[in-house]
Copies of this chain bind each other. A is one copy, B any other.
Amino acid sequence: MMKKEKLTIVKVGGAVVEDEAQLTQLLKDFSAIEGRKLLVHGGGRRATKVAEALGVETKMVGGRRITDAKMLEVVTMVYGGLVNKNLVARLQANGVNALGLTGADMDVMRSHKRPLKDGVDFGFVGDVDRADGQMLGKLIGEGVTPIIAPLTHDGQGNILNTNADTMASETAKALAPLYDVTLIFSFEKKGVLSNPDDDKSVIPVITRSDFERYRADGTISGGMLPKIENALHAVEAGVSRVIITLATAIDGNSGTAIVGE
């Protein structure tokens, strides 16, 4: 089998793309990544602001946005239009041949409307069913850099608001048969810390057995547990490595790498 080409997938949250100084730095760093690449972005804060200006109330349950019909219009406008197209235009100016996409475009990611969960109706929120790596992989091979907004579709004509972390993982898994994929989650810390109060205590590498040990001895706890569990699932599904790092350190050499044994 031929050695697979490297592909770097970066997920950035809304806070980064919505702050001009951070965004400029991110675009510079992302543009500097050598080889094939792909960006998945959020945009929640901007959506909240536009919703407010339109008089649409933002309701969150457990950190997740309740997406009624009006809020779906807002996120479709903000994620698919305002944030995505500005990222594309600015990356083009940096010499990156960017292509903005949602899951509906070329049917790259399909989802179903989330059923009631613990009595909560999240509305037009999609739980991902499948990602298609074939067309994406072909475009990437042609030198195109996909810029993915956190929206999918249900195959019945409806756009659904979708978690950007999940979309990044699913995209990485779908492309793993075609590329040597590094998936980078940008984050507000330098990586996974062995001491939450010490920013220098970044754990450089975590394998499944490391993770079980850190979990057992309490080194890793709380919100980091599902993050690393998801990263390990991606690695076990063929992604070469998942890196958790600062948004200002997406070069692939910083942060915590979650890898196979």
Interface residues of A (CB under 8 A from B): 50, 53-55, 73, 76-82, 84-86, 88-90, 92-93, 97-102, 104-107, 135, 138, 142, 144, 151, 153, 155-159
Contact = CB atoms under 8 A, between A and B. Distances in A.
A77 B82 contact: yes
A77 B135 CA distance: 26
A132 to B, nearest CB: 11
Contacts of A81: 76-82, 84-85
Contacts of A77: 50, 77-78, 81-82
Nearest to A106: B99
A84 B79 CA distance: 12
A209 B33 CA distance: 56
Given A54-B53, A80-B81, A153 B92 contact: yes
A207 B210 CA distance: 76
Contacts of A50: 54, 77
Given A81-B84, A89-B159, 18 more contacts: A50-B54, A50-B77, A53-B54, A53-B55, A77-B81, A77-B82, A80-B81, A80-B85, A81-B82, A85-B151, A85-B159, A88-B102, A92-B104, A93-B155, A98-B105, A100-B100, A100-B102, A135-B144
Most B C-beta atoms less than 10 A away, residue of A50, A85, A158, A159: A85
A159 B88 CA distance: 9
B88 A104 contact: yes
